[in-house]
Chain A
Amino acid sequence: DTAVSQTPKYLVTQMGNDKSIKCEQNLGHDTMYWYKQDSKKFLKIMFSYNNKELIINETVPNRFSPKSPDKAHLNLHINSLELGDSAVYFCASSQEVATAYNEQFFGPGTRLTVL
């Protein structure tokens, strides 16, 4: 009965490869997010979707492409992986976007290592 789940938990790959991370939430939330946490522990928003519609798209290389097949899923596809992409990627969800009460629920994270 995990609220926000991500797969895989660990991902080790070579530079230049393409990889995907999957996220699912069973909370019935409308909004989902992708965050990147670097080695200095800064947690930075990358994307967010509200009911399958992209609403936040930070300055992220276009090698990163989110896809939301339905409001319970938000996947992240990364093309041509680079060393600097190594980080922990967190998926999160929240009930609504347009409210002040915007508690976010985070997944366990995916540690991506690019060699």
Chain B
Amino acid sequence: SQKIEQNSEALNIQEGKTATLTCNYTNYSPAYLQWYRQDPGRGPVFLLLIRENEKEKRKERLKVTFDTTLKQSLFHITASQPADSATYLCALSGSGNTGKLIFGQGTTLQVKP
């Protein structure tokens, strides 16, 4: 069955460092992959989308890579700030036209000042 794995352990890093979060998937060939941020008690907020034929996407301090051979996406936050502390979710979608997203369980990032 389709499976998405994100590191369930919290990631603790020092302010100013680069945070790298991992999303691995099996038994799936997504057409595109999305990353969302979720703060406690709130709904997820879209951050970035990357297509299967793209290797890398950037937006300000955020960078996403997508390796369909390794079946893995990496999400980087450079020059991290305490305000970046949140849970980050990856989500995969196929090429069908249903809009269905399959989410990972998320990785919680804690940036210490």
Q: Which residues of A contact B (CB under 8 A)?
A: 4, 31, 33, 40-45, 48, 50, 55-56, 90, 92, 94, 97-98, 100-109
Contact = CB atoms under 8 A, between A and B. Distances in A.
12 contacts: A33-B99, A40-B105, A43-B44, A44-B103, A48-B99, A56-B98, A97-B98, A102-B93, A104-B46, A104-B99, A108-B41, A109-B41
A41 B98 contact: no
A107 B46 contact: no
Contacts, number: 62
Nearest to A45: B100
Interface residues of B, number: 24
A42 B103 contact: yes
B43 interface: yes
Contacts of B101: 45, 102, 104
B51 interface: yes
Interface of B: 31-32, 34, 41-46, 49, 51, 87, 89, 93, 95, 97-103, 105-106
Minimum-distance CB pairs A-B, first 9? A106-B43, A98-B97, A43-B103, A97-B99, A103-B46, A106-B44, A102-B99, A42-B105, A41-B105
